Amino acid sequence: MCGIAGVVGAAATDVPDPLGPALAALSPRGPDGGGRVAARLGTHPVALGARRLALVDVAGGRQPIERPSGAVLVWNGEVYNHDALRRELEARGVAFRTRADGEVLAALLEHEGLDGLRRVEGSYAFAFLPGPAGPLWLARDPAGVRPLAWAATPRGLVFASTLDGVLATGLVDPRPDPAAIADVLRDGVVGGTRSAVLGVRRLGPGEVVAVGADLSTTSRAVPPPLPPDVPADADPEAGVLDALRAAVEDRLRAERPVGVFLSGGIDSALVASFARGREHLRAFTLTYPAHADVDEGRRASRTAARLGLPLVEVRCPTDPTAWVLGVARAFDEPFADASAVPTWGLARAAGSTVRVVLTGTGGDEVFGGYRRYWLLGAGPWLRHVPSWLREPLATLLERTTPPGARLLRAAADPEGLYRGLMRLLPVGERRSIAGTLWRDLPDPAPVAGPSDPWSAMRDDRERYLPDDLLVKEDRALMAHGIEGRHPFLDRRVADAARRLETRGGVGRGRQKAVLRAYVREVIDPDLARVGKRGFSFPCDALYQGPLCPLAEDVLTSRRARERGFADPDAVQRILHDHVTGTRLRGAVVHALVILELWARRVLDRVSSL
């Protein structure tokens, strides 16, 4: 894992060192050193740089990677099948200077172009310049595991792993994108290829941007992977477990200490089970002594004991204000998924002993594990509830059955029940707190969301994973110099899951039954029966208690009231309703706090929070 940055065009030479501050901003992503190189794209100067987290060929695998032909690569990620690819290339006469997987990727791009990516098993975000004639390729892996942002400016083109790196060059004016701010208050995150700053965009999963010698840009998709070589009579259930076992083994390959995040669910337990043969492997879990309803400790402790793994229990502080502020410093975009807070705290503890962490992220999206997938059948029925009855009924349900209230409101979403279930705020309520910055923006035209489990799973892999879960883990872990690895996102696992889906479908968790059967037999019969677990953050309780002073201080400040992100009177009502218990709005309060803290650090350039 690394952080990369580059400047192409006049700014690379006539602006005092724009690359240096970018690399400094990326230093937490690459605590083991950095490097830079000058090149040319046509007549334009190019400055490329990287910060490195050394995991493969620690002594020799430095960046940037320069090939004898003059090709240059800076990249962020891992190629898990680099040994096999190296042998193939060596048989064709290709020579290597190091054992690093990055040099294999550079040679593959040099000799096969983008088609070489079809054979890469791993995750990546890179900039590759084959020579002065170009083009310069900026690319991101199809799952969207590794980030890359870029902007075209009057002085040239700039890119970096994160928005912070782009802004550190000084070549982009940090002005908020009103549509992105509206997105955060609707969905909790900035979605798609938009960023929170005008003029900066993010590469989408599996996107390649080609920068020509005239600095023009074109976009295309990463070539699709080669189809798996699977016998026609192969057992899909055995294939799933074999693929996951191989994916875990690949992701254990590192020359630095490795750990695993262990929640109270089956996905992380499966990863830990297949990883337990690794010497000195440690598991990490989060505990909430004061909030038993979200505490992972007891279940994780039992799983770790059954697997024979040493477990580090990280306690969330009674007052997690410092953790919330830590998230605000670590995330380059306003990110309101509150589970980022415990993930950041867990990563801070793990960062003192490990440099790689395996997680169970992606298990539900690949194997149909979310309860919401099979709730979709209720959507058409709930939409028939009259509008005059919906809100009073939802208010009544909120006092007794909060999930029922959420389901009822979600069914009224113009894009369907599934989109409604994923919202931070229903569309109508979002309008009621609109600030002057985006109040006059028209609502985007509704686009029907998923209506069945198969399309919902696909939608989650295309949106929820790259926009939310993978952003959360990347920023929270990299703030502490840790690379996150995700066995469930291995293409072999995805292929095996699709074959299982073809045979059995995803209704009511039939796909995940294969995983539960293994957990029941090998790890813990009781664990196989528990519902979905994860590192939650009890926003409602905490923003009524120890985080209440932070919320009041941040959201009632003059800066926040004049910001234009949200209507001050509406914010005051939300705070009042939440603190008094009239209507619990902890997740919304958290989103407003994170938005303001992000604005202070990025827009106001306040370095300390």
Token pair for residue 277?
A: 């043969």
Q: Percent helix, strand and coil across the chain, each rounded to 5?
A: 45, 15, 40
Topology at the third CATH level for domain 231-277+296-308+337-533: Rossmann fold (3.40.50)
Q: Which amino acid is at 564?
A: G
Token pair for residue 488?
A: 């469930």
Q: Which amino acid is at 287?
A: T
With a cut of 50, list the residues of the chain below it in pLDDT. none
Token look-up 């009632």 returns 556
Q: Are strands 258-261 and 282-287 parallel, antiparallel or unpaired?
A: parallel
pLDDT value, residue 505: 56
Q: Which amino acid is at 210?
A: A
**Whole-number Å distance between alpha carbons of 108 and 122:** 14
Q: Strand, helix or coil at 483?
A: strand
CA angle 598, 599, 601 (to 5 degrees): 65
* Torsional sign, CA 590, 593, 596, 599: negative
**Whole-number Å distance between alpha carbons of 575 and 384:** 32
**Whole-number Å distance between alpha carbons of 454 and 462:** 13
Which letter does DSSP use for residue 8 in this model?
A: E
- pTM, whole model, 2 decimals? 0.95
* Torsional sign, CA 544, 550, 555, 556: positive
SS3 assignment for 129-176: ECCCCCCEEEEECCCCCCCCEEEEECCEEEEECCHHHHHHCCCCCCCE
Token pair for residue 175?
A: 């002005």
Q: Before 64, cis peptide (omega within 30)?
A: yes
Q: Are strands 201-202 and 207-211 parallel, antiparallel or unpaired?
A: unpaired
**Whole-number Å distance between alpha carbons of 190 and 181:** 8
**Whole-number Å distance between alpha carbons of 546 and 288:** 14
**Whole-number Å distance between alpha carbons of 5 and 298:** 43
Q: Is 94 exposed, middle or buried (0-12, 13-18, 19+ CB in 10 A)?
A: middle
Class of domain 2-221: alpha beta
The domains of the chain are located at: 2-221, 231-277+296-308+337-533
